[in-house]
Amino acid sequence: MTSHSPKGAFKIAIAGLGTVGGGVVKALAARGPELSSRAGRKLEIIGVSARSKNKARGIDVAGWTDDPLTLAKGDADVVVELIGGEEGIARQLVESALANKKHVVTANKALLAKHGKALADLAEKNGVTLKFEAAAAGGIPIVKALREGLIAHGVDAVKGILNGTCNYILTEMESSGRSFADVLKEAQAKGYAEADPTLDVGGGDTAHKLALLTSIAFGTAPDLGAIAVEGIEHISPDDIAFASEFGFRIKLLGVAKRMGNKIDQKVHPAMVRVRSSLANVSGAANGVLVDAGEAGSFFFSGRGAGEAPTASAVIADIVEAAGGTLSPVFGRPAASLAKLNLADGKQAVSSWYLRFEVLDVPGVLASITRHLADAGVSIESMIQRGRAPGEPVAIVMITHETAQHEVERALKAIGASDKVRARPCMIPMEL
Choose the catalytic residue: 114, 131, 209, 257: 209
Q: Is 390 helix (H, G, I), strand (E, B) or coil?
A: coil
Q: Is 178 helix (H, G, I), strand (E, B) or coil?
A: coil
CA distances from 250 to 83, 101, 197, 276, 410 (A): 33, 46, 19, 12, 23
- Which runs of E-coded beta strand occur in 31-154? 43-49, 78-81, 103-106, 130-131
Residue 174: count of CB within 10 angstroms of its CB: 18
Q: Pairing state of beta strands 157-161 and 228-229?
A: unpaired
Amino acid at 60: D
Q: Do residues 329 and 120 make contact, with C-beta atoms less than 8 angstroms apart?
A: yes
Single out the residue of 336, 131, 62 nearest to residue 220, CA to CA: 336
Residue-by-residue DSSP string for 366-383: HHHHHHHHHTT--EEEEE
Is 125 a catalytic site residue? Answer: no
Please, which residues bridge with residue 338 across strands?
220
Q: How far apart are CA 180 and CA 169, in angstroms?
A: 7
**Alpha helices per DSSP H over 253-335:** 307-322
Q: How far apart are CA 185 and CA 213, in angstroms?
A: 30
> Would you please indicate which residues are annotated as catalytic (active-site) residues?
209
